[in-house]
Amino acid sequence: MMCTTYTQTNPQKLSSSFFSLPRKNLISIRDLEKKHILHILNLARNFKKTPPKPLLKDKLMGIYFAEPSTRTRLSFEAAMKRLGGNSLGISDIKTSSIQKGESLQDTLQILGEYVDLLVVRHPLEGSARAASLATNIPVINGGDGGNEHPTQTLLDLFSILECQGSLESISIAFVGDLKYSRTVHSLALASCFFNIRIYFISPSCLQMPSHICHELKRSGCRFSFHPTLEEIIKKIDILYMTRIQKERFLNPLEYETSHMDFSIDSNILSQAKKSLKILHPLPRLKEIPKYLDHSPHAYYFEQAKNGLYIRQALLCLLLLTPEEMAAHGY
Amino acid sequence: MDTKTRIVTAIEKGTVIDHIQAGQALKIVKILGLEHSKKNLTIGLKLESATCDTKDIIKIHNWHISEEDSQKVTIFSPHLSINVIDHYQVLKKYTPQLPPFISSLIACPNSQCISNHEEINTYFYLEKICKDVFFRCKFCERPFSHHTIQPQNTL
């Protein structure tokens, strides 16, 4: 009999009054409960259906990106500007005082004096949590090393809900680099809320980290490991592809020797459910060939677009009170 | 003739930390700040034990462990026992409770954790899963067993 006794003392867990208080952070998907996730998705759906008014006029968002980014940074900036606000910040640390040896916390404490909210991306794990301790303004984790990417998880869930009609009891296959892919870690953890069946397919050296698997098991999540996609393609509703992240390998030899060919093609897709959708956090390399972009299964560009609405929802929920939101009809 | 001998001799007065998980005693000595102190210590490593395969043991002469320190040592060996000794007799024996969180005492074993690169107080939450104990880093969110954690170098 599996022992499921589990106790945790975690004062960072948000209370049910998360949305009644501005100045809270989004650092980890673990900080959210199911009702918070559904609330965010619902607001994002409203924003996608009807573009919101300039709810964040006169608000300023600070960006600190110490790692390359296209979608996350640009969608946050677009989200803020389309809500009437503005943004400033650092997207190239070579131009900042980090080069003079200034600590991350000092940099963000100063930046936090100029803006109303911070979005932080950094290669070290836990950096967003450290950022939240350096400032009193809300901090959003835009990706901390190989740890988490909670806003990506929210837009992934939004996309799945949109294309499948429900999040409950669907099946997802995660394919590729599961070891270093923070988007996969976050989404797998969030899947536990919705009784999602998970299939992992990856090179042996890039498997899902054991500490994530243990947490999935403790949460009662059903998951299994498979050597090939062909084995489970007929069972799944969502195919979540990932890029092998060369930049995360501490040992370059490990990257060169890992088996890279976990790509898809039309032959594999011919065996899939008609309703199957392909997601990818992008950028993609060879794992999804370009000719599949026009396949009815391809959903990754719509997925990227949904980042705008999710980030608009998060910015509003962190910068406005429920009363202010209600005054605008939300 | 009684031919039995103790591998680690009894102490007249002080504290005996017994049933320490084998291999963990030196971490406990470090976290108690005893490695550079003038206190008399007797340490036994990988001794045979009736209750577990092997154990470590530490005897500190003329010193009584505080409640705060007794919680610290359980981090490295959750099932150890503390014995208060006087006149060669055990006055009190107990297993301290694990603290719900640990701040600043231990380093994060994850080299990619921000706490190993910035001047930040480490912080770990206790997680109990069946009989196993894990400490989850507040920053990188990874859980670590008491086997893998080390005292911080500042101690």
pLDDT tens string for chain B (155 positions)? 444 556 667 888 999 999 999 999 999 999 898 888 888 899 999 998 877 678 999 999 999 999 889 988 998 998 899 999 999 888 899 999 888 899 998 999 999 999 999 999 999 999 877 677 889 999 999 999 888 888 887 43
Helices (H), A115-198: 127-134, 150-164, 182-191
A197 carries an active-site annotation: no
Burial class (CB in 10 A: 0-12, 13-18, 19+), A156: buried
pLDDT of residue A180: 85
A100 part of the active site: yes
pTM of the model: 0.86
CA A265 to chain centre: 26
Q: Judged by CB atoms within 8 Å, which residues 247-276 of A form the interface with B?
A: none
pLDDT of residue A75: 95
- Report which of A166, A180, A175 is spatially closest to residue A198, judged by C-alpha positions: A175
Report the candidate in A146, A96, A151 with the shortest Cα–Cα distance to residue A122.
A146
Q: Nearest 5°: CA angle at B108, between A64 and A109?
A: 30
Q: Which one from A71, A217, A273, A305 is the annotated catalytic residue?
A: A71
A93 has a chain B CB within 8 A of its CB: no
Which residue of B110, B140, B142, B145 to mutate against A (max A Cβ within 10 Å)? Answer: B140
Q: Distance between alpha carbon A208 and the CA centroid of its chain, in Å?
A: 16
Q: Indicate which residue of A24, A59, A72, A129 is catalytic.
A: A72
Model pLDDT for residues A207-240, shown as the tens digit of each residue? 999 888 988 998 999 999 999 999 999 999 999 9
- List beta partners, residue B60: B15, B41
Continuous H helices in A219-321 = 252-257, 266-269, 300-319
Which residues of chain A have a pLDDT value below 70? 1-23, 91-100, 245-250, 254-261
| Unique residue bearing structure tokens 């499948």 | A164
Q: In chain A, which among 189-218 make CB contacts under 8 A with chain B? A: 211, 214-215, 218
The string of DSSP letters for A52-73 reads PP-TTTT-EEEEEESS--SHHH
Q: State the best of A2, A8, A208, A249 to mutate against chain B, taking most chain B CBs within 10 Å.
A: A8
Chain B residues with CB under 8 Å of A5 CB are 128-130
Question: The sheet that has A238-241: what strands, in order across it?
Answer: A223-226, A197-201, A171-175, A238-241, A277-279
| Interface contact A9-B101, CB threshold 8 A | yes
